[in-house]
Amino acid sequence: MSYHPSLPGLFDPEQGALPITPPQPATEKQISYAQSLAARTGAALPAALLRDRTGLSAWIDKTKNAQPTSRFSNYPSAKQVQFAERIARLKRRDIPQSCFKDRTLMSRWIDGNKPR
């Protein structure tokens, strides 16, 4: 009795490794956007990435999605505050002042006081 795989072509000799292609150079638009992003965020742009399109694209995605850090970055959002104030009006409660300075505390207050 012989074993026949259920996936045809899986063990064919022409199914070899994928060819290695040299990295594509970054486009001018990518380079200019990456330089403006680096200037805006203060992140260092490695010079080696300017020669690799996929590496530069990954760096742009990572840098673009990074949250800016400032003294106000831990404050609750305006929508959080609006929602909490609406809950406070419905339940006739006050929101603790410490919740207005910490988004985590505001989130916990909202979760604990949401109308069910």
Residue 5 has pLDDT above 60, yes or no: no
Give the pLDDT mean for 4-17. Answer: 61
Q: What value, to the nearest 5°, has the Cα angle with vertex 52 and ends 50 and 57?
A: 85
Rounded Cα–Cα distance for residues 56 and 70 (Å): 26
Give the pLDDT mean for 10-21. Answer: 63
- Amino acid identity for residue 69 in this structure: T
Give the pLDDT mean for 69-73. Answer: 78
Predicted confidence at residue 43, as pLDDT, reads: 83
With beta carbons less than 8 A apart as the criterion, state whether 75 and 49 touch.
no
| Mean pLDDT estimate for the chain | 84
Residue 12 has pLDDT above 80, yes or no: no
Predicted confidence at residue 18, as pLDDT, reads: 61
Find the helix packing angle between 78-91 and 103-113, rounded to 10°: 30
End-to-end C-alpha distance for the chain, whole angstroms = 64
Rounded Cα–Cα distance for residues 32 and 50 (Å): 10
Give the pLDDT mean for 84-93. Answer: 94
